[in-house]
Amino acid sequence: MKIYITHCSAKKDDSLKHTTKLTTPDKLYTATPIGRFMNKCKTEKVAWAIFSDLYGVWFPDVKHGWYEKAPHRVTEDEFKKLLEDFDQKLSNYNEIWFYYNPGRFHRLYKRLLSESKLKDRIKMFSHIKEIVRE
């Protein structure tokens, strides 16, 4: 089984900001690159998720509230929990394709991928066209 995943973005739907409304990642994140990623995954009908700095691995059918958590604000204890979440939620996938922008790839995500127990299953890629249904 294969899954495509990318990191979250700071740009979100601000209409949800001061509400208790829960939403899916495709409705929350509004940055163009993450939107392209999610749309391509939907078009190709592939498994996908977003790596949230607060929630960890966020699958498209799960709802969470609006949040603000920058990667540079993740504490060591929070990082350990995010790493455990990543390894646990993605353990059933034998291929984990991580989409990233080389110019905007935060060290938190580099560290996550290098310390994951699943690192041998992770392939990093930077072109949306590589998202394909097999």
21 CB contacts (<8 Å, ≥6 apart)? 65, 66
Whole-Å CA distances, 54 to 27, 73, 83, 92: 17, 10, 12, 22
Position 58 scores a pLDDT of 98
pLDDT in tens, 96-133: 999 998 888 899 999 999 999 999 999 999 999 999 99
Spans of all domains in the chain: 2-130
Q: Whose CA is closest to 86, among 60, 114, 124? A: 114
The average pLDDT across 88-98 equals 98
Look up residue 1 and give its DSSP letter.
Answer: -
Length of the chain: 134
pTM to 2 decimals? Answer: 0.96
Q: What is the rounded average pLDDT for all residues in the chain? A: 96
> What percent of the chain clears pLDDT 90, i.e. is strictly above it?
96
- Rg (the chain; Cα; Å): 14
Whole-Å CA distances, 128 to 4, 46, 70: 10, 13, 24
Position 103 scores a pLDDT of 80
